A = this chain, B = another copy of it.
Amino acid sequence: MANTIGKLYTLTTFGESHGTALGGIIDGCPSNVKIDFDFIQSELDRRKPGQSKIVTQRKEADEVKFLSGIFEGITTGTSIGFIIENGNQKSNDYDHLKDTFRPSHADFTYDQKYGNRDYRGGGRTSARETVNWVVAGAIAKQIIPEIKINAFVSSVGEISINKAYQDLDFNLIESNPVRCPDLEKASEMEEYILKIKKEGDTVGGTVTCVIQNVPIGLGEPVFDKLHAQLGKAMLSINAVKGFEYGGGFCASKMKGSEHNDLFNEDGTTKTNLSGGIQGGISNGMDIYFRVAFKPVATLLQKQDVLTNDGKIIEQQGKGRHDPCVVPRAVPIVEALAAMVLVDFTLMDKACR
């Protein structure tokens, strides 16, 4: 079940970057959820390539086709099958990948593990897979509409928002192609990405996600802690190298007397370095976490690659690639967070 996420609200997926279609099966969606198809499409559009100058110029329609589980616009409680057909497949762009392994890609490891791979555009290892997640996440959001999930770009390279999330206006996230609610930083980031793109290079960044209005009690003790499942989900996204929540890595430098979140009489806390989770279970305060993305490995520069027969040759990256993934990663982070939260919401109903 290496292609499944979740326990009660599960998504199982398939699909290669240049195959006929990608798709998935959502199992465990409660019945009687009225589906807003336009919302799902709008979420897909946020992830879609070709939205702006700072992302890849590939054109993909990214239209999802639901095949089951929704009857007359309302979920039936049975499994929801869906596909996204691959339209604009410039497979020829990828012929040079057949016999070579690009540095810091999954080409080499997949080849070693499986001995057979669809090399076109990365095949199954392509981040195109995340289109499936956005579909399942968009449905998840509709199951728990009261919970508010906002992700945004908090850094690109060395350029970083210096404000607390409480001081940001989430309404500004979608106002710029970087998806950064600090507009000054946003334009710095945009400029920097364009510069990097011109160089044929790429750059990393971080996405911060804030989840508000979470009921107390989501999460399980010991091995299915809420933050452990969030972390696992985020670490499943292509190019992610790190995850921290609440105080995060900074907390490791602090004293207990500085880090502890003192209570108010109503059970809320005066500070929230816990990040809304204590002992793996939500405490009703805002959940927030940060996800680190490495720079995209495919460069539109010359680079040494390894050939099938153990030679190092120079190769120029081709195709249409993102100079920086974080703007398009924002809806993906939200989608996974929504899936995890629905999973725990259902679990919580079961166990109480």
Contacts and interface: CB of A to CB of B under 8 A. Distances in A.
B217 A78 contact: no
A14 B68 contact: yes
Interface residues of A, number: 147
Given A4-B12, A12-B27, A14-B81, A269 B110 contact: no
Interface stretch (A47-55, A165-173, A182-190, A237-245): A237-245
Contacts of A316: none
A109 B281 contact: yes
A209 interface: no
Contacts of A106: 221, 278-281
Contact of A104 (B79, B116, B231, B260): B260
Interface in A148-196: 155, 157-158, 196
Contacts of A69: 14, 124
Interface string A273-290: 111011111110000000
Given A5-B223, A109-B278, A299 B256 contact: yes
A14 B22 contact: no
B204 A351 contact: no
The complex is assembled from copies of this chain, and their number is 4
A204 B266 contact: no
A297 interface: yes
A221 B78 contact: yes
17 contacts: A1-B7, A12-B27, A13-B79, A13-B222, A32-B114, A79-B222, A106-B280, A108-B283, A110-B279, A112-B281, A157-B252, A205-B252, A225-B236, A231-B243, A242-B245, A266-B310, A273-B294
Interface of A: 1-5, 7-8, 10, 12-16, 19-25, 27-28, 30-32, 65-69, 71, 74-81, 83, 101, 103-106, 108-110, 112-118, 123-125, 129, 155, 157-158, 196, 201-206, 216-217, 219-225, 227-229, 231-233, 235-236, 238, 241-249, 251-267, 269, 273-275, 277-283, 292-299, 301, 303-306, 310-312, 346-352
A263 B13 CA distance: 31
Nearest to A28: B351
A71 B68 CA distance: 27
Contacts of A104: 256, 259-261, 273-274, 278
Nearest to A291: B252
Given A71-B123, A251-B294, A254-B294, A27 B2 contact: yes
Contacts of A78: 3, 14, 16, 114, 123-124, 221-222
A113 B281 CA distance: 8
Contacts of A203: 254-256
Chain B CB within 10 A, most for which of A109, A251, A267, A299: A109
